[in-house]
Amino acid sequence: MSLPQIIQKENGNFEVMVHCKKMTRVHISYDCPFCYTLNSRRVISKDEQVRNNYKSAKPTVHRHGTARNYNNGLRGGTCSHCQFDKCDVIMVIDDNTIKQL
């Protein structure tokens, strides 16, 4: 399965499945599929035409709490912190997720 993957729920809303890059005791972090951050810390849309005009554009990293659950698996039902897309996020935590516990 290639991530991110957008899934339509029965009620017509959408969820996006993302792979978590890093987990600490407090936060789970993932690259947002919808926005970039510039060196100036300004967040911009992931629209390719916009991104190509900014050489410093890097994927925005969003963080959610771990709720003291450090196991591999899926975490769902959390609202995205992205200002460009407010769909629910399903976070995939696996052996490739860096764990700094």
Every domain of the chain and the residues it spans: 5-100
Instruction: State the average pLDDT for the chain.
Output: 86
How far apart CA 85 and CA 15 sit, in angstroms, is: 10
Residue 27 has pLDDT above 70, yes or no: yes
On whether the CB atoms of residues 38 and 56 are closer than 8 A, the answer is yes
pTM as predicted: 0.83
Question: 47 or 82: which carries more pLDDT confidence?
Answer: 82
Residue 101 has pLDDT above 90, yes or no: no
Residue 1 has pLDDT above 60, yes or no: no
Query: For position 2, what pLDDT does the model report?
Result: 59
